[in-house]
Amino acid sequence: MKKINKISVLSLSKLQAVLGSLFGLFLGIIYSFGGLIIDTLVSSDLISSSETSGLSYGTILAFGALIGMPLIFGVLGFMLGLIEAIFYNFFARKFGGLKVEFE
């Protein structure tokens, strides 16, 4: 059984940023289906759009979700990774590290 006494702060932050971006992309894809539904409702005149030309609300939501959510989740994941690694390193010195068994 091995003991993890310290975690590299930048290493965990980068990992959390990648995982957060992938999660944000997954949620962005799901959220963009809401934009598809709004576009469909506007196209079939079930709801009205205040825009006369250009992108409708649904298209703007879809693009915003597919681009913005991975960016936001990636940045938040990086910051969370920084905080987690700093706290882990602080408390691992005081109370011992994690015990991990490799087979």
Give residue-wise pLDDT tens across range 33-73: 877 777 777 777 776 666 544 556 667 777 888 899 999 99
Question: How many whole angstroms separate alpha carbon 89 and alpha carbon 103?
Answer: 25
Which amino acid would we find at residue 25?
L
Task: Note whether 101 and 2 are within 8 A (CB).
Answer: yes
Query: Where in the chain are the domains?
Result: 9-86
Q: Mean per-residue pLDDT for 62-90? A: 93
Task: Provide the phi-psi class of 62: left if phi over 0, else alpha when psi is between -120 and 50, else beta.
Answer: alpha
All residues at 6 or more sequence positions from 89 whose CB lies less than 8 Å from its CB, including other chains: 6, 7, 9
pTM: 0.76
**Three-state DSSP state, 98:** strand
